Structure 1
Amino acid sequence: MSCYLIKELLPLYIEGDCSAETKKIVEEHLRSCEICSHLYREMIEPIPLIKMSENPIPYMDENEEKRKFKERYFGKLLLRACIAFGIVYVVMVILYWFK
């Protein structure tokens, strides 16, 4: 059997979800093929977990995040309103003086 088919069957073989005949074919191929045998050994080894860094990302409460967003948003909104009011006031004073 070709290596391509064995590579496709390896997950089923490892999980034990293949028939007895397929299991026998895969085992025979693994004994004769070093490449597929190496792949099989890699697939059955557990994957090591990534070690957490010493400075993990700090958790921020959702309510705190909303409060900060509103503070920034409404702060900018208030600043824009003050600037618009100031411009309108200056324009009205200038128009009043030049009548």
Structure 2
Amino acid sequence: MAKMKIKAKEKGGVVKVKAMFTSLMADKEESIKKGIKPEYIKYIVAKVNDAVVFEVSTSGFMSENPLVKFKFNGKSGDEITFTTIDNNEKTETGSEKIK
């Protein structure tokens, strides 16, 4: 299951976000090599005030502990919430106030 570190800072009406997710990101082929169960994040969504500001479908092709960066128009004081779903349908949620 993915753990996350989130940083979101607003400047001039633009919010810059950096989010790192802790996950092995091991697809079937890699998991066979390492002798572990396949584990990777397959979906990431970020919302602010119930509006989607970032959304991506992924697979085991991403690197271990993936880092995503993006920008959107927003304001400080709001809360950004990330939700991830892994290949085993486990869901993890994390949030952070925009500074």
Same fold (TM over 0.5): no
Q: Report TM bin, short chain.
A: under 0.3
Name the larger-Rg structure: 1
Q: What TM-score do the two structures reach when normalised by structure 2?
A: 0.18
More contact order relative to length (CA 8 Å, sep ≥ 6): 2
Higher helix share goes to which structure? 1
Q: TM-score, normalised by structure 1?
A: 0.18
